Amino acid sequence: MSTTAAPAGSQIAEITSSDASLRRFLAGLPGVDQVGAEARVATLATRSIKTSAKAFALDLAIRMIDLTTLEGQDTPGKVRALCAKAAHPDPADPTCPPVAAICVYPDLVPVAKDALTGSPVHLASVATAFPSGRSSLDVKVRETADAVAAGADEIDMVIDRGAFLAGGYSEVFEEIVAIKRACVSPSGGPNAHLKVILETGELVTYDNVRRASWLAMLAGADFIKTSTGKVSPAATLPVTLVMLEAVRDFREATGRQVGVKPAGGIRTAKDAIRYLVLVNETAGEDWLDPDWFRFGASSLLNDLLMQRTKLRTGRYAGPDYFTLD
């Protein structure tokens, strides 16, 4: 796959100094070879891993999950139960690792914060008028700041796709910058990490995915994320390939590493392992870590637990053995 003709770190400020320079840079990114991207993904998807390597991959995938509940019917009880599962996914097996994070709506952050006390699990909150992104900047900033003040240490924001598709790159850039500022901890502790959701299913083309990835990273994103999970298609392997190439090239250009989070539609251990192979072969081993790669999922965890039990005991536990999320 072709790499991006990327700027040196010292050129970033110049690129983002005006609408014209930002537009010129994004328009100058090389186009994505759609046939090549899809063919490479198809080839990598045939890779098979067995025994100890599979056991490692299953545990790694569990450690990379952002266990998510983002429904209008979410209750404090459901969030507390999900937090318990996040910390101890398989209570019958103390060797099973915890997931990376819980992701909830902003009003349920205090509930999750209390439930996760003493746990290594991170607390993420969606913000910025999720999932549509259709609200004023003031409202988006306030929602983000409130979630951080309530205890969220990760924020998943969604970009204004309408503005992006209309060519309003500077508008999207400035909004990400403003949300990044709102991620500053009011207590002087660590700032919340910012994951920027591109909603790739609405961006239509791989070229747009590449441009949006670079735009988000230039604006300060700590992670770039495929989807809200509310739009189809959500995460796909080819889209994730394009985003992995972008973060790889961005680090080469600037020295700053940015994470990637595919979200939506990843339901089986086989799917997760395909993504891990893609990460390793595209961005490299440095991204094979929960600090740099996450799965946004609700149903994936149970299948990983079933496959893990099969490796350990020789038999499937069955889908009703683990709690339903």
Q: Give the catalytic positions in this structure.
A: 156, 225, 261
In degrees, rounded to 5, the angle at the alpha carbon of residue 301 between the alpha carbons of residues 196 and 303 is: 130
List b or e across 266-275, with b for residues whose CB sees 16 or more CB atoms inside 10 angstroms.
Answer: beebebbbbb
Q: Would you mind telling me the total number of residues written for the chain in this entry?
A: 325
Map tokens 């298609």 to a residue: 233
**Coil vs helix vs strand at 78:** helix
d(CA 244, CA 238): 10
The DSSP 8-state label assigned to residue 215 in this structure reads H
Q: By the 8 A CB rule, do 261 and 101 touch?
A: no
Q: Which two tokens stand for residue 140?
A: 């988006």
In degrees, rounded to 5, the angle at the alpha carbon of residue 161 between the alpha carbons of residues 104 and 131 is: 20
Q: By the 8 A CB rule, do 98 and 63 touch?
A: yes
Of 155, 168, 243, the closest CA to residue 199 belongs to 243
